[in-house]
Amino acid sequence: MKLGRAWWACALAVPFYAAGCVVEIGPDPFGAEVSVDAAWTINGVPANAAECAAAGVTDVRIRVLDGAGSWIDNRLTFPCAQGSASTGPVLLEGTYDLVVEAVDRNAASVVVAATDPVTVTALFGDTITIDADFIIESIPAGT
């Protein structure tokens, strides 16, 4: 019998609730309210297949940080060589810290470079715009 995560979370929370503790389980930030437009460069050069390969970057993803955790979703992961991406509504309205990561999927999704977190507040129907320049000081061996 397969039980959902919500059931297990409730079952685990019962002893804490009975003891007078309040356990809050926050939902993930994904939903159909806020879109994302992103563009990225590598060392100031527009991302393309050659630049991405030389830097050892296969994908660019946007990590969403909120009070409940750190979230990665395929809807916010893009091929590096695209250089930019636009999504339809993918997030719920809210305030988030966003980190854009250059990832080498060939090396078990190793983060090659990342931006500092940027705090954004988005309302229903908004589009978050992100521009990132990945500074990659050394090119990985073998590329």
pLDDT tens, residue order, the chain (143 aa): 444 444 444 454 444 444 444 444 457 899 999 999 999 999 999 999 999 999 999 999 999 998 888 999 999 999 999 999 999 999 999 999 999 999 999 887 799 999 999 999 999 999 999 999 999 976 555 54
Give the separation between CA 130 and CA 121, rounded to whole angstroms. Answer: 13
pLDDT for 26 equals: 59
- Pairing between strand 127-134 and 30-42? parallel
pTM of the model: 0.76
Residue 48: both structure tokens together: 């393309």
Q: Which of 118, 119, 113, 124 is nearest to 90 (CA)?
A: 124
pLDDT for 51 equals: 95
